[in-house]
Structure 1
Amino acid sequence: MAQWSIGVAVVAEPYSVPPRPNWMGDWDGSVAVVGSTTAHSPPLSLRDKGTGYVAVEWGGITIYGVYFSPNRSLNDFEVFLTNLETSIRRLASGHVLVLGDFNAKSIAWGSPRTDARGEAVEEWAASVGLCLLNRGSTNTCVRQQGGSIVDLSFATPVLAARVRNWCVLEEVETLSDHLYIRFELSRTQDSSRGHVARRLSRFPRWAVARLNRDLLEEAAIIHSWLSPQAPTEEVDVGAGRFRDAITHVCDAAMPRVRGRRPPRKEVYWWSQELADLRAACTRARRSYTRSRRRHRGDGEEDRLHEEYRRARKTLKLAISRAKEEKRQEMLEGLNRDPWGRPYRAVRQKLRASGPPLTETLQPSFLREVVEGLFPQRAEHTPPSMASLAGDDGEHGEDNVPPVRESEVGAAVLRIRSKNTAPGPDGVPARVLALALNHMADRLGEVFDASLASGRFPECWKSGKLVLLTKPGRPADSVAAYRPIVLLDEAGKLFERVLSARIVRHLCEVGPDLSDAQFGFRAGRSTVDAVLRLRAVTEEAVSCGGVLLAVSLDIANAFNSLPFSCIREALHYHGVPKYLRRLVADYLEERTVVYEDREGNLRCRPMSCGVPQGSVLGPLLWNIGYDWALRADFPPGLGVICYADDTLVTARGANFQEAARLATRGVSLVVGRIEALGLRVALDKTEALLFHGPRRGPPPGASIVVNSVLVPVRAQMKYLGLILDGRWLFDEHFRQLAPKLVGAASALGRLLPNMGGPSVATRRLYTGVVRSMALYGAPVWAAALTAQNRVRLWRPQRVMAVRAIRGYRTVSTEVACALAGTPPWDLEAEVLAEVYRRVADFRAESGFRPPPEDVREWREAARRATMARWSFRLETPRAGFAAVEALQPVIAEWAGRQHGTLSFRLTQVLSGHGCFGKYLHTVARRELSPACHHCDCSEDSAQHTLAVCPAWAAQRRALTAVIGVDLSLPAVVRSMAGSDSCFTAVATFCEVVISRKEAAERAREDDLHSDPIRRRRTGRRRPAYHSLMPP
């Protein structure tokens, strides 16, 4: 696909269908459709799938991938065709392609004869109205026994007229019996996407990886000297001059990116050696196929087939070696950059190359999307918000404090390490931060001039539009796209200064924002919001009542808030007049710009909303939306809000009373939201009843909100947690567990037992899965049930086994103990305890506690956790010998700063490895547990470590360092306390186990050995294929 820039391909009988967005498979994995991630190709969206077929949407075309086994009956084949026909008619698309291996023969597509399956396919294609695309009589499947034409291509008549150059690629080696089939589709005017020619972008970009810091500093110093700002210079002129200066600095320090990089024509592991081997294999195949046509049945044909078979085998082995070498290079690079391309690939966070969405969408549809996301509206009359601080507050029009150096420094500190996408000027944040070491005065002068004049620079009001797709939404709907507006970093620095001043006024002068608002506020988080809900819930339930929570969804919230509501809210909160005037100008004449498919620069004015991607935007949303939260609610009614996620709570003695109050309260809140010019998507409203034992809602319970029936459900997703009426979190962990296991398994692909990244990277990746698992821990830690603990143990065990380089059969207790990671249910209690103490401190003092206090609380909680973990390890469920050795010194072992576990060291400590006992009882690869190196009847890890005479020399070197006591508890105790002892044990294990492994491989390769010992590589081929990097 890379070599020929193929947009989409159908693969029959793949080894596996990887869980990637560009792969779509049928129910049993017998056929898949693969979309390109490098060419300018539309994404795949699944339309339908069944047994033997899968249908996807690709650029306005419905593509069916098909495979039917030749070993199944004709009756099954006819049922399969009926199901396929039903699917095609149900989707009713005017543009349909059906591609795949039907294993049917007919003279209609070049076969010498027609079989029953061929007749069935001909009748099926005629009934559906499909045209055959196959041309000629070239075999699509070639074996030594003969060839056949079984791979077929069909299309609807309109689409068939656009097919060009359909052909079977006889001259290309596929390493399969089947040959490649390739064809082209001509483009038409109604294509939803098209090829985008490589051209220079209208937005400048620089190659930051080639940044020369010395040249940057020199250029910044020169520009700070040459063009100081005039005292009376206009704000727009000053900002424009600064933009030109920083552009020149970037040009001096790093090269520009000239156009987009063309798509790769080869995979990452390809080389000239492989190209030569592939050419030789192709020549051998060509010679063989020509010989069959000319001299069928003589010895020459057998000789040429054997040459072709050897050439193909050589190519396969070379490809396998190349893949493995590149994989090893990739894994070794993780120590330098653990968050690089391999990590993003396995976590499916690797962005496909190609142009932005705005440059690939059809122009009319793009216009529809942009107009829907950025609506134009007439001036909205906001609700009256009585000012509590007078017209000007304490600050009159002339009292404009200049921007202090500390304010700019604090803003620059926030962007110094950021790697965010730049705005229309293309200047990266960290490059700007370096340049401001010498140009900060010039930028500060622009800030002061803007504050004094009350005008926000025009060049900083324009943002570059980036569209992101929402998963699970149809690609032809506006709701499938989310906008991000990229702004110039210099303008965002100024926004940080303004935001800090507004927040300081709200906190110190006021009136402050509603206490019900938790979003975009320092010291508040989603956990605070959920705990507030839990507190009011427990208060109601403890008194024998119930609490009904109703979640409201605001449609396109951030892009729809009227500017007039923001201005009125700023006046209500008594924000100084100079800031109100500047924010008012900041909101006016804002635009978003983007390039379309033809390369035209389009501009869309913003008449409402706050920019998603700005610094001021979230704060202005909170201020403008605050009025909706300050209603005079009746007793028992409350509201909790995180940004635009608004939750209305109604308390009652029973469900009926709570439902009546909720209906009244939700109508009140919805009315206030609509008064702000926003719209509530009532069809997305959810309701959940919190209750005590035997106080649940009646069957089919619901409430009515503005004539819309809202059912009361058993669960509700709120701020990343799935809540239920009893705060048990069973559904939350049931849905979370597969995600954790999937993430752990994906990261495990980067952590092989032999080689690979260091222990620091392994712990880092363990922390990734741990952070996913422990999100919201202060909310659910106290209610964690035994079943949910088990759900946490499985992903933790996967990561712990990868961290210690152990066998997958190592138990959870042993793996966690060797890795030094306490069970996550205990770590959740640590987070909950620290959170509680921080919250208590803030409630008493009104300030955040000092970092050293938080550190002390965390250490105290961790010591208590280690004590509880040690107590739990006194009664292990498996791995008794290893746990017995680790339990007395678990705190010292987990806290040691020396020694790293290796694959062979872990075998000895865990007992799972190259030992007769393990190979007989667990791996089932030995007839008996006897030792092959002495006459002992049981070869265990302890036997290898302390008894077996074959390793006496290595054992003497070991005892000279750690002492004569070689019991596992004594060995572990010495390793935990001394680096030299740890090194001595690791050296012993490396030498001894490597020799035992060599002896085991010799027994496996012995042709006279018992079959139970023989390697079973064929079964592992699909598993090995799944380990290959994408």
Structure 2
Amino acid sequence: MVLWDIKPAASHKVLYDLVEDARGRPRVVIAGDFNAWAIDWGYPRTDARGRILLEALASLNLETLNTGGRNTFSRAGTGSIIDLTFASETIARSSSWGIGDFYTASDHEAILLTLAERIVTTLFPNCEDALRDHPLRHCEDRLKECSCEEVISIVRRMRPNKAPGPDAIPNRAHGLAVSLIPEVFAEMYNQCLRERKFPSIWKCQNLLLLPKPGKPSGETSSYRPICLIDTAGKVLESIIGARIQQEIERHGDLSEMQWRDGSKKYCLVVTLAGIWVGTTRIPSQRAIKYLGVMLDTHLCFREHLEYANQRALVSVRSHSRIMMNTRGPKEGRRRLLTSVTRLIALYAAPIWADALDKKSYRSDLEATYRLSAIRVCSVFRTVSDEAALVLASMVPIDELFRESKAMYYGKRTDASSGSSSETGNRQHQRLQSIFRWQRRF
């Protein structure tokens, strides 16, 4: 199922990519705001976009599910039918389409599409029967329950003076409770193992920023972030980790090339053509996330730039609520807040910085970075990119990537030669970035 929103200014290539993605799939549902008119879905006339849409979808043998002449979009007393739903023949025969009568807080009406249970089962098969005889299922059935002695041993290994998590229960108090009623805690953890669930409340964390000694308070790099979780969650992690280790050892232990005992040797990332679970095939993706970096099949890192831009854009939008043009924090604090966006975008930059040589790859990230600069210097959106960066005292994002890459390889060179001039290297690379920036003018 694909949900789509094609704006009038979108090129025909967007629609072409959608059709190519759906081609060859036996069961397809395409729904969205297409901004197209046609007699086929109840509008009095057919416009150019409607003809293009009909021609594109004709090759997929899709049927239009829209029925009746009721408008799906209304504004200022006028309306049109632009929210469309298309489906393959097998789905169209056993589905119902309609417009909801409830309030949506939007110009668009709610579209109700009901698929038959048979179709849902086909699209999302239940693999319980297929997994019944799978070796992984037998591994889960052999999951060993924890004993009172194991829980007590894990708690005793924890440092009693460590800071607590969101529940504010210190390790010392948790250890005392476990020593008094170990059977209660053992049964609680065993229930988690039986249900194969990790409670969501134990995944919550408290974020603390520890200042580094001798560092200026206005810089993001002057703080060391740590996340504190509940002790109860740490105990369950240790219990699960012990069982994972036992299964690994039982199946022949880790490869000699695996990172273990503090010695990292090699790391291999492969892309599989597909994985079969019973009778269900799980196809591979064009890109996978490894240690926070999206690795694609060609290592061009376009997917990672899109991923990094989405994360940075969320940060910019969050900060925009407290950094308005007419009031809010001063420029120094604004710059400190926007440095979070910069650090998100710069994550692992030495690996993929070369991808920024293509302007089409970095354009979205530059637009997000421009929003940060606008919030720092409190100017209108009509100000040019160069002027906003100068007023905000922010080096262009592509220069920051090159600077990060140069610093990384500079550290490796210093480490191999035995020198320790990290501060000098940082200052030198920043001067080089400013010099390249000035040459643009």
TM-score (norm 1): 0.26
SS of the equivalent of 1:68 reads coil
Task: Give me the whole-angstrom Cα distance separating, in 2, the residues matched to 1:160 and 1:443.
Answer: 60
Q: Kindly indicate whether the alpha-carbon contact (under 8 Å) linking 1:744 and 1:799 is maintained by their aligned counterparts in 2.
A: no
1:81 aligns with 2:54: yes
Q: Kindly indicate whether the alpha-carbon contact (under 8 Å) linking 2:259 and 2:266 is maintained by their aligned counterparts in 1.
A: yes
Which blocks of at least 5 consecutive residues in structure 2 are unaligned?
39-43, 143-149, 199-229, 276-286
1:809 aligns with 2:384: yes
Question: Aligned match of 2:393 in 810, 818, 825?
Answer: 818
Task: Give me the whole-angstrom Cα distance separating, in 2, the residues matched to 1:184 and 1:721.
Answer: 34
Residue in 1 aligned with 2:431? 870
1:376 aligns with 2:138: yes
Structure 1 residues 743 and 766: CA distance shift in structure 2, 3 A: farther
Deviation by residue 1:923-978 (Cα, 9 ceiling, x = unmatched): xxxxxxxxxxxxxxxxxxxxxxxxxxxxxxxxxxxxxxxxxxxxxxxxxxxxxxxx
Q: Kindly indicate whether the alpha-carbon contact (under 8 Å) linking 2:374 and 2:392 is maintained by their aligned counterparts in 1.
A: no
Residue in 2 aligned with 1:773? 346
> Following TM superposition, by how much is the alpha carbon of 1:818 offset from its aligned partner in structure 2, in angstroms?
1.7
Q: Which amino acid aligns with 1:88?
A: N
Task: Give me the whole-angstrom Cα distance separating, in 2, the residues matched to 1:173 and 1:491.
Answer: 40
Question: Aligned match of 2:162 in 410, 413, 431?
Answer: 413
Structure 1 residues 48 and 192: CA distance shift in structure 2, 3 A: farther
Deviation by residue 1:785-831 (Cα, 9 ceiling, x = unmatched): 99489959946555444434355514289549724898343244445
Task: Give me the whole-angstrom Cα distance separating, in 1, the residues matched to 2:404 and 2:192.
Answer: 45
Q: Kindly indicate whether the alpha-carbon contact (under 8 Å) linking 1:167 and 1:182 is maintained by their aligned counterparts in 2.
A: yes
Q: Kindly indicate whether the alpha-carbon contact (under 8 Å) linking 1:61 and 1:97 is maintained by their aligned counterparts in 2.
A: no
Q: Kindly indicate whether the alpha-carbon contact (under 8 Å) linking 2:31 and 2:85 is maintained by their aligned counterparts in 1.
A: no
1:98 aligns with 2:65: yes
Structure 1 residues 456 and 76: CA distance shift in structure 2, 3 A: closer
SS of the equivalent of 1:629 reads coil
Task: Give me the whole-angstrom Cα distance separating, in 2, the residues matched to 1:145 and 1:446.
Answer: 69
1:441 aligns with 2:176: yes
Task: Give me the whole-angstrom Cα distance separating, in 1, the residues matched to 2:81 and 2:236.
Answer: 68
Residue in 2 aligned with 1:667? none
Q: Which amino acid aligns with 1:68?
A: A
Question: Aligned match of 1:62 in 26, 29, 35?
Answer: 29
Q: Kindly indicate whether the alpha-carbon contact (under 8 Å) linking 2:72 and 2:81 is maintained by their aligned counterparts in 1.
A: yes
Residue in 1 aligned with 2:120? 192
Q: Which amino acid aligns with 1:811?
A: E
1:462 aligns with 2:37: no
Residue in 2 aligned with 1:367? 128
Q: Kindly indicate whether the alpha-carbon contact (under 8 Å) linking 1:753 and 1:806 is maintained by their aligned counterparts in 2.
A: no
Task: Give me the whole-angstrom Cα distance separating, in 2, the residues matched to 1:409 and 1:831.
Answer: 35
Task: Give me the whole-angstrom Cα distance separating, in 2, the residues matched to 1:61 and 1:740.
Answer: 30
Task: Give me the whole-angstrom Cα distance separating, in 2, the residues matched to 1:753 and 1:157.
Answer: 53
Task: Give me the whole-angstrom Cα distance separating, in 2, the residues matched to 1:158 and 1:413.
Answer: 57
Q: Which amino acid aligns with 1:434?
A: I
Task: Give me the whole-angstrom Cα distance separating, in 2, the residues matched to 1:646 and 1:74.
Answer: 58
When Rg is computed on C-alpha atoms for both structures, the one with the higher figure is 1
Structure 1 residues 437 and 22: CA distance shift in structure 2, 3 A: farther
> Following TM superposition, by how much is the alpha carbon of 1:365 offset from its aligned partner in structure 2, in angstroms?
1.2
Q: Kindly indicate whether the alpha-carbon contact (under 8 Å) linking 1:834 and 1:861 is maintained by their aligned counterparts in 2.
A: yes
Structure 1 residues 770 and 407: CA distance shift in structure 2, 3 A: same
Structure 1 residues 167 and 68: CA distance shift in structure 2, 3 A: closer
Aligned runs of 1:932-1011 on 2, under 5 Å? Answer: none
> Following TM superposition, by how much is the alpha carbon of 1:87 offset from its aligned partner in structure 2, in angstroms?
1.9
Task: Give me the whole-angstrom Cα distance separating, in 2, the residues matched to 1:721 and 1:139.
Answer: 42
SS of the equivalent of 1:434 reads coil
Structure 1 residues 762 and 158: CA distance shift in structure 2, 3 A: same
Deviation by residue 1:549-588 (Cα, 9 ceiling, x = unmatched): xxxxxxxxxxxxxxxxxxxxxxxxxxxxxxxxxxxxx7xx
Q: Kindly indicate whether the alpha-carbon contact (under 8 Å) linking 2:395 and 2:433 is maintained by their aligned counterparts in 1.
A: no
Which blocks of at least 5 consecutive residues in structure 1 are unaligned?
1-20, 31-45, 90-95, 100-132, 194-360, 381-399, 418-429, 467-487, 497-585, 587-613, 631-638, 650-679, 686-714, 842-855, 881-1030
Q: Kindly indicate whether the alpha-carbon contact (under 8 Å) linking 2:100 and 2:111 is maintained by their aligned counterparts in 1.
A: yes
> Following TM superposition, by how much is the alpha carbon of 1:864 offset from its aligned partner in structure 2, in angstroms?
3.7
Number of equivalenced pairs: 360
Q: Which amino acid aligns with 1:775?
A: A
Aligned runs of 1:66-215 on 2, under 5 Å? Answer: 67-69=35-37, 80-89=53-62, 98-99=65-66, 133-134=67-68, 163=96, 180=109, 185=114, 189-190=117-118, 192=120
Percent identical residues: 12
Deviation by residue 1:590-648 (Cα, 9 ceiling, x = unmatched): xxxxxxxxxxxxxxxxxxxxxxxx34356556656774534xxxxxxxx46699x9857
Q: Kindly indicate whether the alpha-carbon contact (under 8 Å) linking 2:324 and 2:375 is maintained by their aligned counterparts in 1.
A: yes
Structure 1 residues 142 and 456: CA distance shift in structure 2, 3 A: closer
Task: Give me the whole-angstrom Cα distance separating, in 2, the residues matched to 1:785 and 1:145.
Answer: 49
Task: Give me the whole-angstrom Cα distance separating, in 1, the residues matched to 2:288 and 2:236.
Answer: 40
Q: Which amino acid aligns with 1:24?
A: W
Q: Kindly indicate whether the alpha-carbon contact (under 8 Å) linking 1:797 and 1:812 is maintained by their aligned counterparts in 2.
A: no
Aligned runs of 1:824-973 on 2, under 5 Å? Answer: 824-832=401-409, 861-870=422-431, 873=434, 876-877=437-438
Residue in 2 aligned with 1:951? none
> Following TM superposition, by how much is the alpha carbon of 1:434 offset from its aligned partner in structure 2, in angstroms?
0.8
1:49 aligns with 2:18: yes
Q: Kindly indicate whether the alpha-carbon contact (under 8 Å) linking 2:36 and 2:82 is maintained by their aligned counterparts in 1.
A: no
Q: Kindly indicate whether the alpha-carbon contact (under 8 Å) linking 1:737 and 1:791 is maintained by their aligned counterparts in 2.
A: yes
Deviation by residue 1:249-305 (Cα, 9 ceiling, x = unmatched): xxxxxxxxxxxxxxxxxxxxxxxxxxxxxxxxxxxxxxxxxxxxxxxxxxxxxxxxx
Q: Kindly indicate whether the alpha-carbon contact (under 8 Å) linking 1:753 and 1:805 is maintained by their aligned counterparts in 2.
A: yes
Residue in 2 aligned with 1:693? none
> Following TM superposition, by how much is the alpha carbon of 1:443 offset from its aligned partner in structure 2, in angstroms?
1.3
> Following TM superposition, by how much is the alpha carbon of 1:493 offset from its aligned partner in structure 2, in angstroms?
2.0
Structure 1 residues 141 and 716: CA distance shift in structure 2, 3 A: closer
SS of the equivalent of 1:811 reads helix
Question: Aligned match of 2:317 in 735, 749, 758?
Answer: 749
Q: Which amino acid aligns with 1:98?
A: L
Residue in 2 aligned with 1:599? none
TM-score (norm 2): 0.52
1:24 aligns with 2:14: no
Q: Kindly indicate whether the alpha-carbon contact (under 8 Å) linking 2:156 and 2:175 is maintained by their aligned counterparts in 1.
A: no
Question: Aligned match of 1:493 in 222, 235, 238?
Answer: 235
> Following TM superposition, by how much is the alpha carbon of 1:873 offset from its aligned partner in structure 2, in angstroms?
3.5
Task: Give me the whole-angstrom Cα distance separating, in 2, the residues matched to 1:151 and 1:723.
Answer: 34
Q: Kindly indicate whether the alpha-carbon contact (under 8 Å) linking 1:797 and 1:815 is maintained by their aligned counterparts in 2.
A: no
Task: Give me the whole-angstrom Cα distance separating, in 2, the residues matched to 1:183 and 1:723.
Answer: 37
Task: Give me the whole-angstrom Cα distance separating, in 2, the residues matched to 1:442 and 1:175.
Answer: 53
Q: Which amino acid aligns with 1:464?
A: R
Q: Which amino acid aligns with 1:409?
A: R
Q: Which amino acid aligns with 1:493?
A: V
SS of the equivalent of 1:24 reads strand
